C-alpha cells in the first residue's frame, strides 16, 4: 500500500480548491497549513489529519469528533469549516486567525528581554480557561493545551497605547478526542512538551477529567509570568519574579497539584481564582510590599534601621533553597539552549540509520546529583556537561517494543552484539543525558520516585515498553526501570560502568545520576544493555540474523569461562557507586 501523503509545498492545491500558502505546524493531530480558498479567495487553516488517528478504520470516530467540534461555539475557539479528503487523507478546515501561537509570542518577548505584565498573563490564561470550559461543557477534555495550540492577537488601544486588547483562540477543540492518551506526550524530537500533560494522563489507566486541562493552563500561566515552565522541583512565581501579589503563588500551587482531586475542579474555577489575584492589586506592585513601605515611613529613621535589621535576619539566605534555585536556573538555561528540531528534520536525520532509534541533539545536560535528590547518596553536585548529537535505541536489546530484553549478558557480548548491528555500546554520559531528557529530571519521568511509572527497577523487570510512561522526554524507554545496562565507559582496568538500577533499592538506583561498575566478565539476571550510534556512522544495512545457538545464556557461558580459568566461585566484586 502506498504511503499516504501529509506534506505539501506552497502552491500545491488540495481537494481542487485549497491552495497551500505556508506550513504552520506539525503535531499529534497532523500537519497544519494556511491555505487560500480558490473560489472564495479567503484564507483558512487546514489540518491534514494523521492517518494513524484518522484512517479509514476511524471513519465513525472522525465524523463524531467533527460534529462535536462544530457544535461547540465560543469566541475563544476557532470555528470549523468542512471535513473532506485529499488523496485518501482526511482533512478539516477552520477559520484563519491573524495571530501568533503563544509559543511564538513568548519567544518574541523573551528575545527582547521583556516580560508579560500580570494582567497580560492573566488575560491570556483566562481566555484559554474559557475555551477549555466550553469544550468541557460539551463533554470533551482537550488534554493538549500547549503554547503551540493557543493563538494570540494583541493590540494596544487608548491614549498612548496604554490599554492592551488580547484575543485568544484554542485550536482543534473536539478533534483532540481522536488522539490516544499515550500519543499526547509524544514530542521527543523537538520541544519535548510532555510536561504540559497532567500526571494522571501519563499512567497506565489515564483519568480524563476537566482537572487535566486545569493542569495544562496552570503550566501556561506560570510560564507567562516567569519566562520558563515549572519543571521538576520548581520555585513559586514570587521567588522568580518580584512584585507579584501573594495569591499568584496560591493559584499556581493548586493548579499544578500532582493529584487531580487537589486542583481547581474546572477551568472556570481556575479563571475565577486568577481573577482574585487582582483584589487589592495596583500597578503590578505587591500589596504587601507597599504596605510595608507605608509602615516604615511612619516610624522614623532609627526604627527603620531596626526593622531593616530584623527583616534581614528573617530573610537570611537558606543554603538549601539557594542550591535549589541554582539547579533550576541551570536546568532552564539548558532547556532553552537546546536546538529545536522539527519532526520532519528528525525523520530526515534518522532515515539512514537502524529503526527504533531516537535522536538526542548536541548540547548540554546536567551530570551529578541535583540538590533535591536523596541526601544520603552523596556524589558530586550537578554540573553542566556537553555532548555531541547521538542516536540511541528506544529499548533495551533487542530494541523491540513488547519484547523481553535479553539479559545475563557480559560486557564483551553486549559490545559484540552492538557492533554486529552497526552500532556501539552507549557511553555512561550518553545514557545519563538520554535518561534526564531536555528538562534534566532526577528520574526519566520526573523528580520524584514513583514505582507506578517504571516499576521497582531490577526487582520488577518487564517487556520493553510495558510501562508507556517509563520514558524520558527524548523518547527513550526504561532507563529508569527494568534492567541495569552496560556502557562502554571504563572506570578501572577490566571494569565498566553500569547505569540504570540497583537491586533492592529502586529509589536510589534508578536515578539518572546513579553509577556503579562491574567486571567485564560478570553477568546476572539484572543486566542488559542498549546501543548507540553516531550521526556520521554511515549508511546502515540490515544485519544477518543471529545463529540460534548463540542465544545460549551468557551467564552460563561466564561460568564455563571461569571453570576454564580456575576462578569459579569468586564473587564478581562491585565497587562502591561513584556518582
Q: What is the pLDDT of residues 293-346, one digit of tens each?
A: 222 233 333 333 333 333 334 445 667 777 778 888 888 888 888 777 777 788
Residue closest to 142 by CA, chosen among 198, 205, 195: 198
| Whether the predicted pLDDT of 172 surpasses 70 | yes
Same domain, 513 and 365: yes
pLDDT level of residue 175 (50, 70, 90 thresholds): confident
Instruction: Tell me the CATH number at 237.
Output: 1.10.510.10
Task: Please say which residue of 70, 95, 120 terminates a domain.
Answer: 95
In a domain, 572, yes or no: no
**Residue 343, helix vs strand vs coil:** helix
Same domain, 121 and 71: no
Work out the number of other CB atoms within 10 angstroms of the CB of residue 379: 16
In a domain, 488, yes or no: yes
Work out the number of other CB atoms within 10 angstroms of the CB of residue 267: 30
| Whether the predicted pLDDT of 526 surpasses 90 | yes
| Whether the predicted pLDDT of 458 surpasses 50 | yes
Count of the separate structural domains present in the chain: 3
Same domain, 45 and 65: yes
Rounded Cα–Cα distance for residues 5 and 15 (Å): 13
Work out the number of other CB atoms within 10 angstroms of the CB of residue 290: 12
Helix axes 246-255 and 267-275, enclosed angle (nearest 10)? 170
In a domain, 333, yes or no: no
Residue, of 560 and 462, whose pLDDT is higher: 462
Task: Please say which residue of 238, 266, 285 terminates a domain.
Answer: 285
Rounded Cα–Cα distance for residues 533 and 536 (Å): 8
Same domain, 41 and 90: yes
Rounded Cα–Cα distance for residues 93 and 38 (Å): 14
Same domain, 79 and 133: no
Beta strands of 383-467 (E only): which ranges? Answer: 383-387, 390-393, 424-425
- The reported pTM is 0.60
Q: What is the largest CA-CA distance in the chain?
A: 92
Q: What percent of the chain has pLDDT over 90?
A: 43
Element (H, E) at 97: none
Same domain, 123 and 79: no
Same domain, 128 and 195: yes
Same domain, 561 and 449: yes
Digit-coded pLDDT (tens) for 89-125: 999 998 888 888 898 899 899 888 899 999 999 999 9
Question: For residue 542, how many C-alpha atoms fall within 13 Å in the half-sphere facing its CB?
Answer: 2
Question: For residue 90, how many C-alpha atoms fall within 13 Å in the half-sphere facing its CB?
Answer: 23
> Nine-digit cell at 269?
474555577
CB 455 within 8 A of CB 467: yes
Burial bucket for residue 236 (CB in 10 Å: 0-12, 13-18, 19+): middle
Task: Please say which residue of 63, 78, 95 terminates a domain.
Answer: 95
Q: What is the dihedral of CA 89, 90, 94, 99, to 10 degrees?
A: -40
Same domain, 144 and 272: yes
Digit-coded pLDDT (tens) for 486-496: 999 998 888 99
In a domain, 5, yes or no: no
Domain residues for the domain of 114 are 101-170+185-285
Same domain, 50 and 190: no
Same domain, 411 and 454: yes
Same domain, 261 and 392: no
Amino acid at each position: 500500500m502506498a504511503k499516504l501523503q501529509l506534506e505539501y509545498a506552497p502552491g500545491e492545491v488540495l481537494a481542487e480548491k485549497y491552495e497551500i500558502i505556508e506550513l504552520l505546524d506539525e503535531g499529534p493531530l497532523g500537519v497544519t497549513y494556511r491555505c487560500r480558498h480558490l473560489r472564495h479567495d479567503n484564507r483558512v487553516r487546514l489540518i491534514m489529519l494523521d492517518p494513524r488517528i484518522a484512517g479509514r478504520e476511524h471513519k465513525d470516530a472522525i465524523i463524531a469528533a467533527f460534529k462535536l467540534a462544530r457544535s461547540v461555539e465560543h469566541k475563544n475557539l476557532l470555528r470549523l469549516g468542512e471535513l473532506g479528503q485529499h488523496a485518501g487523507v482526511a482533512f478539516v478546515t477552520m477559520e484563519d486567525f491573524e495571530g501568533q501561537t503563544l509559543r511564538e509570542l513568548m519567544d518574541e518577548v523573551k528575545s527582547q528581554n521583556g516580560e508579560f505584565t500580570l494582567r497580560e498573563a492573566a488575560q491570556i490564561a483566562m481566555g484559554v480557561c474559557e475555551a477549555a470550559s466550553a469544550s468541557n461543557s460539551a463533554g470533551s477534555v482537550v488534554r493538549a493545551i500547549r503554547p503551540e495550540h493557543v493563538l494570540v492577537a494583541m493590540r494596544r488601544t487608548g491614549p498612548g497605547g496604554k490599554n492592551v486588547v488580547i484575543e485568544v483562540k484554542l485550536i482543534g477543540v473536539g478533534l483532540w478526542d481522536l488522539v490516544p492518551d499515550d500519543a499526547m506526550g509524544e514530542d521527543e524530537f523537538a520541544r519535548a512538551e510532555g510536561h504540559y500533560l497532567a500526571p494522571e494522563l501519563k499512567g497506565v489507566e489515564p483519568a480524563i477529567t476537566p482537572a487535566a486541562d486545569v493542569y495544562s493552563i496552570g503550566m501556561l500561566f506560570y510560564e507567562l509570568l516567569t519566562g520558563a515552565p515549572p519543571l521538576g522541583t520548581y520555585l513559586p512565581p514570587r521567588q522568580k519574579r518580584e512584585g507579584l501579589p501573594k495569591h499568584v503563588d496560591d493559584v499556581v500551587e493548586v493548579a499544578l497539584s500532582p493529584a487531580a482531586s487537589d486542583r481547581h475542579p474546572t477551568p472556570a474555577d481556575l479563571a475565577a481564582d486568577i481573577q482574585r489575584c487582582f483584589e487589592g492589586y495596583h500597578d503590578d506592585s505587591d500589596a504587601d510590599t507597599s504596605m510595608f513601605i507605608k509602615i516604615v515611613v511612619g516610624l522614623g529613621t532609627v526604627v527603620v534601621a531596626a526593622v531593616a535589621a530584623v527583616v534581614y535576619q528573617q530573610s537570611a539566605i537558606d543554603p538549601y533553597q539557594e542550591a535549589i534555585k541554582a539547579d533550576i536556573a541551570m536546568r532552564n538555561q539548558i532547556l532553552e539552549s537546546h536546538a529545536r528540531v522539527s519532526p520532519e528534520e528528525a525523520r530526515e536525520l534518522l532515515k539512514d540509520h537502524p529503526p527504533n532509534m531516537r535522536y538526542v541533539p548536541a548540547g548540554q545536560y546536567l551530570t551529578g546529583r541535583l540538590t533535591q535528590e536523596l541526601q544520603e547518596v552523596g556524589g558530586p553536585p550537578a554540573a553542566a556537561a556537553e555532548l555531541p548529537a547521538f542516536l540511541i535505541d528506544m529499548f533495551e536489546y533487542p530494541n523491540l517494543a513488547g519484547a523481553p530484553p535479553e539479559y545475563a549478558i557480559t560486557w564483551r557480548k553486549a559490545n559484540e552484539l552492538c557492533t554486529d548491528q552497526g552500532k556501539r555500546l552507549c557511553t555512561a554520559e550518553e545514557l545519563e543525558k538520554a535518561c534526564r531528557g531536555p528538562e534534566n529530571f532526577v528520574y526519566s519521568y520526573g523528580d520524584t520516585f514513583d514505582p507506578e511509572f517504571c516499576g521497582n527497577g531490577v526487582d520488577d523487570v518487564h517487556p520493553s515498553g510495558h510501562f508507556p510512561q517509563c520514558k524520558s522526554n527524548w523518547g527513550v524507554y526504561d532507563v529508569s526501570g527494568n534492567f541495569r545496562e552496560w556502557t562502554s565507559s571504563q572506570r578501572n582496568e577490566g571494569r565498566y560502568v553500569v547505569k540504570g538500577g540497583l537491586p533492592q533499592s529502586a529509589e536510589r538506583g534508578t536515578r539518572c545520576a546513579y553509577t556503579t561498575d562491574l567486571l567485564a566478565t560478570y553477568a546476572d539476571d539484572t543486566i542488559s544493555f542498549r546501543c548507540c550510534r553516531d550521526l556520521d556512522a554511515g549508511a546502515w544495512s540490515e544485519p544477518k540474523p543471529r545463529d540460534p545457538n548463540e542465544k545460549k545464556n551468557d551467564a552460563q557461558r561466564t561460568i564455563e569461562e571461569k571453570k576454564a580459568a580456575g576462578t569459579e566461585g569468586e564473587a564478581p566484586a562491585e565497587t562502591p557507586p561513584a556518582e
